[in-house]
Amino acid sequence: MWTILQKDLLLELRTREALSALVVLMLLILLTFTFAFDPAEAATAAPAVLWVTFVFAGLLAVQRTFLIERENGSWYGLLLSPIDRGAIFVAKMTGNLIVLAIAQVVLLALLALLLGVEMPRAPLALFVVNGLGLVGFSALATLFAALSVRLRAREMLLPLLVLPLLVPVVICAVEASRVVLAGGGAADAGAWLRVLATFDVIFTVAGWLLFEQLVQE
Amino acid sequence: MSTPDRLWFLFAAYSAFWLLLAGFLIHLGRRHRALDRDVRDLESRLDRIS
Amino acid sequence: MSLRARLALVAEHVLPFAATAAMLAALGCVFLYAPNERMQGAVQRIFYFHVNCAWSAFLGFFVAAGASAWYLWRGGETADQLAQAAVQVGMLFCTMVLVTGPIWARPIWGTWWTWDPRLTMTVILWTIFAVYLVLRSMGRDDAEIARYGAVLALVGVLDIPLIMVSVRLWRGMHPSVISAPKGQGGLEDPRMVVTLLVALAAFVLLFLWLLWRRFETLRLRDAIRRVEDRVMEARA
């Protein structure tokens, strides 16, 4: 499993394709929001902007990684090898997660710059809160991404599949971020974080179990 | 809101229920008839072959 | 006689009559037997069918998830057909919830839509399974799509408690509407409880009957498809 992860990461780092596309896309969406919002409201809107940008850009990015792999045939090579399918899922999910996490740091920085959002004194808390959301996001996106590349309506399909399922993540991550941005600590956001953590555990395990059933060719 | 108005809502809700149910059953009926047609079609094709 | 044949017999001959009879009894109870609720008046009677639609929808989705799990791990098209039928019947009832809910809300709360936690959750559930139906329509004989549909159904149902909790928490933060206790809070009169139970029985029977009919249609369609293939081969 580690080898797959290593391979994916190395590929990413060398080409930096998905990451750069992701960052540029996020920047564009963020800019659009900047024009849409009155700067005074920025602080309250910030977590929502963060997550909306994130979800749409993130889904496209995850989809791309699968598309590339499928196009150059390495996907089938992977399936034919005797590696446990569950392990493939975890490797892919972690790979996506790392890319998304890096993107998130960039996005948070952009957010602070463009919308003039006050970053809390402990930015780590904000990062952790959103990181928890990311884990759940990665799990579901990775699970369903392999399908969307096959069908004609691919760009539409992955968001359709994943977004309704992600509602708890969006609600909890946005509200928890809001708490942290307003200066609260982990304890204040406790309830949201608990739900996020539960979500992450359930869907990582589910993805790990289900991926095996999905990719049989 | 006066009682007659509210009764209208009661009527609307139950009508909606029965309409949706009827719609579903009609849909099922149509599918079933289409399948019956397919079966007859197959039978005639089999007759022609054998 | 095999279990399946026995079930089929019951479903074809007994179930429709039982369901109709139970429904008539339920309607009788709702309109003639149950008393008017103190605060809401006659409109409250919507509750008996509204709540049961919600429960039937949940039942449908749970059956779909179970059948989907069976399909994923044990295979066999019967499980998949059952899952599809269950989702469709579930969606019928879910739509009914979303239609009767606002109709009930309007006279009681003065507005068609509120972000009531239960209604909100129903909308989300509705979209999840609407996507399921869209997905399945993209490839009727496609095994991969069938598997992804099964995963969606399973994941969707797993998500339900999480959606409930997060929506409740969220609404707790933004209470913009005074939620008068609707239904569960005010079942004071035992006659109301009886009515609810009679309606529940009617809905369960109705659900089973609809599920059976839809399932049979799907099974028939696949069987015909197979025979068609063989006829094509026989000619060649």
Q: Residue A42, Cα to own-chain centre: how many angstroms?
A: 23
Can you state the percent helix, strand and coil of chain B, rounding each to 5? 95, 0, 5
pLDDT digit string, tens, across residues A195-215: 999 999 999 999 989 988 877
Tokens 């059933």, located at residue = A213
Q: What single string gives the DSSP state of each residue in A179-198?
A: HHHTT--TTTTHHHHHHHHH
pLDDT digit string, tens, across residues A143-153: 888 776 666 66
Q: Residue A97, Cα to own-chain centre: how many angstroms?
A: 6
Distance CA A30, CA A45 (A): 12
- Winning range, highest mean pLDDT, from A58-62, B45-49, C204-208: C204-208
Q: What is the pLDDT of residue C55?
A: 95
Q: Helix A85-114 crosses helix A2-15 at what angle (to 10 degrees)?
A: 40
Which residues, 6 or more positions from C150, have their beta carbon under 8 angstroms from its beta carbon? A213, C68, C69, C71, C72, C80, C83
Contact yes or no for C186/C108 (Cβ under 8 A): no
Q: Shortest Cα distance from C167 to chain A (angstroms)?
A: 7
Which residues, 6 or more positions from A62, have their beta carbon under 8 angstroms from its beta carbon? A96, A138, A141, A142, A145, A158
Distance CA A60, CA A149 (A): 11
Q: What is the pLDDT of residue A160?
A: 87
Which of these, C128, C125, C149, lies nearest to C55 by C-alpha position?
C125
Q: What is the pTM of this model?
A: 0.89
Lowest-pLDDT range, A151-160, B35-44, C133-142? Answer: A151-160
Query: A67, exposed or middle or buried, with CB in 10 Å at 0-12, 13-18, 19+?
Result: middle
Contact yes or no for A117/A46 (Cβ under 8 A): yes
Does the pLDDT value for residue A184 go beyond 60? yes
A1 or C136, greater pLDDT: C136
Contact C50 B5 (CB under 8 A): no
Domain residue ranges in chain A: 2-214
**C-alpha angle with apex C34: C31 to C36, nearest 5 degrees?**
90
**Which residues are bridge partners to C37 per DSSP?**
C41
Contact A144 C151 (CB under 8 A): yes
Does the pLDDT value for residue A76 go beyond 70? no
Buried b (16+ CB within 10 A) or exposed e, C1-38: eeeeeeeeeebeeebeebbeebbebbbebbeeebeebe
Which of these, A40, A24, A47, lies nearest to A127 by C-alpha position?
A47
At residue A122, the 3 state secondary structure works out as coil
Distance CA A180, CA C2 (A): 62
Contacts of B24 in chain C (CB under 8 A): 92, 210
Distance CA A14, CA C164 (A): 43
- Mean residue pLDDT across chain A: 78
Q: What is the pLDDT of residue A120?
A: 62
Contact yes or no for A199/A168 (Cβ under 8 A): yes
Distance CA C125, CA C159 (A): 9
Residue A182: band (very low, low, confident or very high) from pLDDT cuts 50, 70, 90: confident
B36 or A146, greater pLDDT: B36
Per-residue confidence in pLDDT tens, chain C, 236 aa: 688 788 888 878 899 999 999 999 999 988 888 888 777 778 888 889 999 999 999 999 999 999 999 999 988 889 999 999 999 999 999 999 999 999 988 888 888 888 888 889 999 999 999 999 999 998 888 888 899 999 999 999 999 999 999 998 888 766 554 444 454 455 677 888 889 999 999 999 999 999 999 999 999 999 998 888 888 887 76
Contacts of C156 in chain A (CB under 8 A): 164-165
Buried b (16+ CB within 10 A) or exposed e, C135-145: bbeeeeeeebb
* Proportion of chain A above pLDDT 90, given as a percent: 12
Task: Measure Cα distances from A130 to A100, B45, C78 in Å.
Answer: 11, 62, 42
Chain C: which residues have CB within 8 Å of chain B? 41-43, 45-46, 49-50, 53, 92, 95-96, 99-100, 103-104, 106-107, 210, 213-214, 217, 220-221, 224, 227-228, 231, 234-235
At residue C175, the 3 state secondary structure works out as coil
Q: What is the pLDDT of residue A148?
A: 65
Chains near B, with 3+ CB pairs < 8 A?
Answer: C
Which of these, C15, C14, C46, C35, lies nearest to C199 by C-alpha position?
C46
Contacts of B32 in chain C (CB under 8 A): 217, 220
Q: Shortest Cα distance from C145 to chain A (angstroms)?
A: 8
Q: Which two tokens stand for residue A38?
A: 């009155």
Contact A206 C155 (CB under 8 A): yes
Contacts of B28 in chain C (CB under 8 A): 213-214, 217
Q: What is the pLDDT of residue C4?
A: 78
Strands (E), C107-236: none
Alpha helical stretches, state H, chain A: 2-15, 17-36, 42-71, 74-80, 85-114, 123-148, 154-181, 190-214
**C-alpha angle with apex C228: C227 to C232, nearest 5 degrees?**
115
Distance CA A100, CA A61 (A): 9
